[in-house]
Amino acid sequence: MADGRQKKFIKELLSKAKTRREQGLYVVDGPKMCSELSPCDVEKIYVTDDFFASNQADMCRDILSECGYEQVSGSEMKQMSDTVTPQGILVVARQRRIKGLSGLMERVNKKEAPLLLLLDTMQDPGNLGTVLRASEAAGVDGIIMNRECVDIYSPKVVRSTMGAVLRVPFLVVDDLTRAMDRLRDRSFMEEFSVATPEFYAACLDAEGYHTDFDYRKGSCFMIGNEAHGLSPELIEKADHRIKIPMHGNVESLNAAMAATVLVFEADRQRRVVKQ
């Protein structure tokens, strides 16, 4: 049985980004994503009395046997979860933190043509989650975002990633322009046998359509805030400005949709090369 302090702490992890940052923890709800956690990710597991009788229990048996768990009632799980219908298992998990651009480049080691995303102040949890899912599907090697983006470990983002938050390398930085300068530093990138990327700013005031460019070399797409787009400073530092051709009276796409179109175009071009 979870005591009051445990329940309060979990509620704070679910509702407060500050608590998640300070504690280095977040909450994973549901058997599918819980089953993908490594034992080293796990701080505490809670399961309901009825969970073991469900068809979904088998996928979590390994991590439950290795990490142990605390059994709680269905009503207690409802008090701890932020979903209307909890799925019977909840994990307090440790955040995966990559140490700086060096740590990210180590994950992209020996990539002659890395495919990266740079996110500027993306605020909508659903958008960020969709970007991570699309990035995994399109083979993106890493995502760099500023601290003004929505917390990637918020429950809405975590759920919408469908587990991609565990598989796609990402880094949160204080200054995106500094990160760009570092990624352009050939001596720095050569340490990891990674090619320097060209930067493509997605914006309405663009020099050409996204299909006019070659993404088979190192490439980094820059996606801005849902309301205001990319900051002028970032647009100025881009190698190219690109836009997606559209029919009708539509002025722009949702940020996550735009990112998805761009990364899948890069993936399409790279697939043609491999064939």
Per-residue DSSP letter, 229: B
Would the CA dihedral through 148, 153, 157, 162 be positive or negative?
Answer: positive
Residue 128: per-residue pLDDT:
98
The per-residue pLDDT for range 182-239, each reduced to its tens digit, is 999 999 999 999 999 999 999 988 879 999 999 999 999 999 999 999 999 999 999 9
Residue 272: per-residue pLDDT:
81
Interval 240-262 mean pLDDT:
90
Residue 52: per-residue pLDDT:
83
Banded model confidence at residue 275, pLDDT cuts 50, 70, 90: low
Architecture of domain 100-274: 3-Layer(aba) Sandwich (3.40)
The per-residue pLDDT for range 37-51, each reduced to its tens digit, is 999 999 999 999 889
Question: Has residue 266 got a pLDDT over 80?
Answer: yes
The per-residue pLDDT for range 108-157, each reduced to its tens digit, is 988 889 999 999 999 999 999 999 999 999 999 999 999 999 999 999 99
Pairing of strands 170-173, 142-146: parallel
CA dist., res. 146 & res. 108, Å (int): 20
Helix axis angle, 100-107 relative to 176-183, nearest 10°? 50
Looking at CATH, the fold of the domain delimited by 4-94 is given as 60s Ribosomal Protein L30; Chain: A; (3.30.1330)
Banded model confidence at residue 248, pLDDT cuts 50, 70, 90: confident
Question: Has residue 21 got a pLDDT over 90?
Answer: yes
Banded model confidence at residue 16, pLDDT cuts 50, 70, 90: very high
Q: Are 122 and 223 in contact (CB under 8 A)?
A: yes
Q: Are 45 and 31 in contact (CB under 8 A)?
A: no
Residue 56: per-residue pLDDT:
83
CA dist., res. 138 & res. 127, Å (int): 16
Domain locations in the chain as residue ranges: 4-94, 100-274
Question: Has residue 2 got a pLDDT over 70?
Answer: no
What percent of the chain is modeled with pLDDT above 90?
A: 81
Q: Are 201 and 242 in contact (CB under 8 A)?
A: yes
